[in-house]
Chain A
Amino acid sequence: DTAVSQTPKYLVTQMGNDKSIKCEQNLGHDTMYWYKQDSKKFLKIMFSYNNKELIINETVPNRFSPKSPDKAHLNLHINSLELGDSAVYFCASTYGGDSPLHFGNGTRLTVT
């Protein structure tokens, strides 16, 4: 019954590899996000999709590519992983407007 679910919860990989993180929400929200939380807990928006369309693309390296096959799913693919990509990645969703964000429990990515 989890509202926003991400997989995997932990991801340990080596530099140069390609990896994907998946996110699904069953709340019927139209807007989904990817946020990155660094080691100092600073949370920064990366991407936002509204009904499968990209609406926000912050200054994120091209190695990061989001994909939204439908409005309930937003996946994040990362190519050529670097040490600096190590962080916790959060998926979130909302109805929009003043509606609050609902977050998944995060994916802790460690690049060695």
Chain B
Amino acid sequence: AQTVTQSQPEMSVQEAETVTLSCTYDTSESNYYLFWYKQPPSRQMILVIRQEAYKQQNATENRFSVNFQKAAKSFSLKISDSQLGDTAMYFCAFTTVAGGTSYGKLTFGQGTILTVHP
């Protein structure tokens, strides 16, 4: 079965500081993609960053970067220089690319509520 686990229900950080959100996943597939999505109070789901499993280099998008450890099946999100607008629920997600019983299924973790304090 394909599972995604976010062990931190809530996190908080001071504005301008750095925070890391954790995510682990379980799969028997070798080729897959990982994502972090943000859901602000508006309820809209917004893609933050995407990582291809066969790429060893960690993805980076401005203040957002990931630490992808394939052997450990870990995919954490680091937010640098936190801003008030980063306050949101963050979801880690996983999808396989080809074959397998979870063929293309997009599975989300339980989410982490991040609050950025002024």
A binds B: no
Please give the residue numbers on chain A whose beta carbons come within 8 Å of chain B beta carbons, in ascending order. Answer: none
